[in-house]
Amino acid sequence: MRDSGDQDSVRHIVRTLRRRIVAWQYPPQFPLVEEALAQEFGLSRSPVRQALTHLAAEGLVERLPRRGFRVQQLKMVDVEDLYGFRLALESQVVRALASRGLDEQTLARLRAPWQDPQALASEPVTRLAELDEGFHLGLAQAHGNALIIRHLEHINERLFAFRELDFDGNDRIASTCAEHGGILEAIVARDVALACELIERNINSGLGNVEDALVRLVGRSYLSSTHPVSKGVSP
């Protein structure tokens, strides 16, 4: 019976810790002590240390020279940077697709889930978030740049805790359908500028929703540090 995995327990630790961190199961700045984690996973410090090194390279934890690893707190400015990064990648994808076209089959596959807003209304929020991720990732896969695809996946993982906030309001479903449909239309019409404009609006509305939802949900206290969550109250 293979207990912890036939190949690598490091991967298991990485995955588990990553899921916990992005789901905010640790408070920000929480110190991840090697020995404690080793004991919890029933392993020694060696694989734990490797996992933490990996997570540090991913940016999920920070490593202080002789003081160990701490969970990296996502500040509001980080969320904004992530969305800006995502916007850069996706607008490039959409621009390229609009300029070189999209085959029927891919188009149909991307369009399918967003044809019927009525049906989507009864889906659970998690499912909506998955479909949304699938749409954006599908565009990137149609584009084909492996690096961009990988980074988009990573962004999705990093924003895991926020993905459901995007679909908070009910009217968000209808507008998402409209936006996705519009983007595909613009691509098919080979209208580069329009497609770019629409994806930008789509992503920015997502960011706006997340920001609003955050302020509403957790208040300004949780994510504040350098840049407070609030958009407006500067001295």
Partner DNA sequence: ATACACAAAATTGTATACAACGTTGTACGC
Partner DNA sequence: GCGTACAACGTTGTATACAATTTTGTGTAT
Using CB under 8 A, list all residues that contact a copy of itself. 7-8, 10, 46, 49-50, 53-54, 56-58, 65-66, 77, 81-82, 84-85, 87-89, 91-93, 95, 145-148, 151, 193
Q: Which two tokens stand for residue 113?
A: 């889930």
Q: Which of the choices DNA, a copy of itself, none does residue 224 contact, using the CB cut-off of 5 to 8 A by kind?
A: none
Residue 58 or 78 having the CB closest to DNA: 58
Does 27 engage in binding with DNA (CB under 7 A)?
no
Spatial separation of the C-alpha atoms in residues 10 and 175, rounded to whole Å = 42
Does 65 engage in binding with DNA (CB under 7 A)?
yes
Q: Which of the choices a copy of itself, DNA, none does residue 156 contact, using the CB cut-off of 5 to 8 A by kind?
A: none
CB 86 within 8 A of CB 52: no
CB 138 within 8 A of CB 106: yes
Does 71 engage in binding with DNA (CB under 7 A)?
no
Does 68 engage in binding with DNA (CB under 7 A)?
yes
Does 54 engage in binding with DNA (CB under 7 A)?
no
Residue 91 or 205 having the CB closest to a copy of itself: 91
Does 81 engage in binding with DNA (CB under 7 A)?
no
Spatial separation of the C-alpha atoms in residues 166 and 213, rounded to whole Å = 8
Q: Which of the choices a copy of itself, DNA, none does residue 82 contact, using the CB cut-off of 5 to 8 A by kind?
A: a copy of itself
The counts of H helices and E strands in the chain are 11, 3
Q: Please name the residue that has the structure tokens 């989507």.
A: 120
CB 95 within 8 A of CB 195: yes
Beta bridge partners of 61: 71
Spatial separation of the C-alpha atoms in residues 19 and 58, rounded to whole Å = 13
Spatial separation of the C-alpha atoms in residues 89 and 14, rounded to whole Å = 26
Q: Which of 67, 122, 146, 226 binds DNA (CB under 7 A)?
A: 67
Q: Please name the residue that has the structure tokens 């700045």.
A: 29
Does 31 engage in binding with DNA (CB under 7 A)?
yes
Q: Which of the choices DNA, a copy of itself, none does residue 215 contact, using the CB cut-off of 5 to 8 A by kind?
A: none
Does 32 engage in binding with DNA (CB under 7 A)?
yes
Smallest gap from Cβ 234 to DNA, in A, equals 19
